[in-house]
Amino acid sequence: MENTAKTPNGERRQINIKLWPPSENTRLMLVERMTNNLSTPTIFTRKYGSLGQPEATKYAKQIEESAFCSANQHYEQEPGGDGSSAVQLYARECSKLILEVLKEGAKLEEKEALKSEVESAPRETFFDISKGQRAFIEADEAQVLLNPLKEPGNSYTKICFSNRSFGLGAANVAGPILASIKNQLKEVDLSDFVAGRPEAEALDVMNIFSEALEGSHLKYLNISDNALGEKGVGAFAKLFRSQTSLEELYLMNDGISKEAAQAVCELVPSTEVLKVLHFHNNMTGDEGAIAISEILKRCPLLEDFRCSSTRVGSEGGIALTEALAQCKNLKKLDLRDNMFGVEAGVKLSEALKKHENLTEIYLSYLNLEDDGAVAIANTLKESAPSLAVLEMSGNDITAEAAPSLAACIASKKSLVKLNLSENDLKDDGAIQISKAFGEGQDQLKEVDMSQNSLTTTARKLAQALVHLPGFKLLNVNGNFISEEDIDELRSIFKECQEKLGPLDENDPEGNDFDDLEGGDEDEGSQDELEEKLKKLDVNQEN
């Protein structure tokens, strides 16, 4: 509402009068008036009945509060208005609710309870700036980008700053903001947040974030993809040392050398409730693996451990497997792409005897060879009853290990995915493996037997798998399957062609050089193979 007044020099000026919000005294007077309307004779109380004084007072207060909230929300959505429309809404709501009380009595209380539940529903808890292309952030942009974290009473418990490279200016903006909400934070993702920054600046940024979050009670911390090295680990020292409730810690692709691994071991003193620990794609080596094994010894509740592509050899592999024997709650184990060798593989098999809860195990490219593979398969046959994923590709496994592998596979009724690719199983080994797929394997969805020098036995795998109810994909690419057998494969899957993987890397005219060296013995081997296939056909028909 606008009014005018004369100034000392006779000019008129406009005066803006705000009609909203009403004063506290006005609100109290309205409650008193509505109490009378509910409890004394009026045209409406004569029709619907009146309330006693205490009950009328209670409902009058509830009506006024509800009407005020509705009108106030309306007013906030009209910035710059004089509040007249809010006043009108306030009056209408009061009148409407008085009638509702008189008509429905105590139902208003139920309505208000429902409204309260709606208003108290969980608010936004995840603050994420990682979407879109990777970008550099400086101070001005950080002020705008992080503004929601400064809002009083915000409910953010999880933040993700990944894929945004913070400069020193942006870090100085972020630091005080994070410090102000650190007590409510439970999950922090700082992966890839200093990309492209000079080392000195990156370390300063890490120090600022570490100090800001020191003393928080995090359950999840991800500082992957930051090329930390020993200096970077040290920059997060204050944050690491202050954590007592961490359940998940991710240090992937961080340049974790042996020195950095030793620093992590020293700076993360509290691991009693740690459930997930990932060290993928680092240059840890044997000495670093020994340091990590010391961390494992302090993780009685560990469920998910990943130490893949970390340049760990036999000595480090043995240290890790011995430490893993103490992690009896382990459900997922990923040690792919290391140089364990046979000895470490056998040691791993001994540790796996204690892991009854394993559901996923990834052991590809570990140089296990037959002895390591057999030891692990024999152990898994008697343990891990709920195993769903088994990967042992690229381990130089031959047909000699196939019976043990087949027995292990046949015992796993919860198996969903099997990967034995890039081995040397050949047809003899594949025959054994195909026998493992049968009754009770209803969960199996994927089998990868690519690059195993297979020829005619690929169709036996297909025949064993195609009728399993949940099966989705057979990969036999990169083998030596003839054109005739490829046609046979496609015929087997003619009703579900999507279940047969691509065959573009198959070499129908390919030969295995080891077999070529056998000379005349090759003919005998071929005759023997054909005889086995005939027997297998007879067994399957029966």
- Closest to 177 (Cα-Cα) out of 130, 144, 199: 144
Which of 106-115, 131-140, 238-247, 298-307 shows the lowest per-residue confidence on average (mean pLDDT)? 106-115
Q: What is the pLDDT of residue 168?
A: 97
The two three-digit tokens of residue 61, written as one number: 């207060």
For 120-137, write each residue's pLDDT tens digit. 555 679 999 998 888 899
Helix or strand or coil: residue 531? helix
Q: Are 194 and 165 in contact (CB under 8 A)?
A: yes
What are the beta bridge partners of residue 128? 160
Asked whether the CA dihedral 415, 419, 424, 428 is positive or negative, the reply is positive
The answer to whether residue 10 scores a pLDDT higher than 80 is no
Share of the chain above pLDDT 70, in %: 87
The answer to whether residue 235 scores a pLDDT higher than 80 is yes
Per residue, the 3-state secondary structure of 339-354, as one string, reads: CCHHHHHHHHHHHHCC
225 vs 218: CA distance, rounded Å: 20
Q: Are 156 and 185 in contact (CB under 8 A)?
A: yes
Q: What is the pLDDT of residue 231?
A: 95
Which of 39-43, 339-343, 442-446 shows the lowest per-residue confidence on average (mean pLDDT)? 39-43
The two three-digit tokens of residue 443, written as one number: 């969960």
Which of 56-60, 236-240, 264-268, 460-464 shows the lowest per-residue confidence on average (mean pLDDT)? 56-60
Pinpoint the alpha helices (H) of 353-425. 369-382, 402-411
62 vs 154: CA distance, rounded Å: 27
The answer to whether residue 536 scores a pLDDT higher than 90 is no
What are the beta bridge partners of residue 16? 2
131 vs 189: CA distance, rounded Å: 13
The answer to whether residue 184 scores a pLDDT higher than 70 is yes
Q: What is the pLDDT of residue 106?
A: 43
For 74-108, write each residue's pLDDT tens digit. 887 776 677 888 888 889 988 888 888 887 764 55
Q: Are 416 and 392 in contact (CB under 8 A)?
A: no
Helix (H) or strand (E) holding 249: strand 248-250
Q: What are phi and psi of 392, to 5 degrees?
A: -140, 40
Helix (H) or strand (E) holding 16: strand 12-16
The average confidence (pLDDT) of the chain is 88
The answer to whether residue 68 scores a pLDDT higher than 80 is yes
Q: Are 62 and 38 in contact (CB under 8 A)?
A: no
Q: What is the pLDDT of residue 123?
A: 66
Q: What is the residue type of 506?
A: N
Q: What is the pLDDT of residue 521?
A: 44
Q: What are phi and psi of 531, to 5 degrees?
A: -65, -40
What are the beta bridge partners of residue 447? 418, 474
Q: What is the pLDDT of residue 531?
A: 59
Q: What is the pLDDT of residue 542?
A: 41
Q: What is the pLDDT of residue 328?
A: 93
Helix or strand or coil: residue 390? strand
The DSSP letter of residue 419 is: E
The two three-digit tokens of residue 474, written as one number: 């057979």
What are the beta bridge partners of residue 327? none
Which of 239-248, 473-482, 505-514 shows the lowest per-residue confidence on average (mean pLDDT)? 505-514
Residue listed under structure tokens 């005998």: 524
326 vs 44: CA distance, rounded Å: 76
Residue 48 pLDDT class (50, 70, 90 cuts): confident
Q: What is the pLDDT of residue 276?
A: 98
For 205-222, write each residue's pLDDT tens digit. 999 999 999 999 999 999
For 294-325, write each residue's pLDDT tens digit. 999 999 999 999 999 999 999 999 999 999 99
Q: What is the DSSP string of 134-187?
A: -EEE-HHHHHHHTGGGGSTT----EEE-TTEEE-HHHHHHHHHHHHHHTTT--E
Q: What is the residue type of 405?
A: L
Strands (E), 340-485: 360-362, 389-391, 417-419, 446-448, 473-475
Residue 46 pLDDT class (50, 70, 90 cuts): confident
For 439-470, write each residue's pLDDT tens digit. 788 999 999 999 999 999 999 999 999 999 99
Q: What is the pLDDT of residue 229?
A: 92
Q: Are 236 and 206 in contact (CB under 8 A)?
A: yes
Q: What is the pLDDT of residue 98?
A: 85
Q: What is the pLDDT of residue 321?
A: 96
Provide the 10 A C-beta neighbour count for residue 99: 11
pTM of the model: 0.74
The answer to whether residue 11 scores a pLDDT higher than 60 is no
The answer to whether residue 432 scores a pLDDT higher than 60 is yes
Residue 22 pLDDT class (50, 70, 90 cuts): confident
The answer to whether residue 541 scores a pLDDT higher than 50 is no
Beta carbons within 8 Å of 305's beta carbon, 6+ residues apart: 276, 277, 278, 296, 324, 327, 330, 332, 333, 334
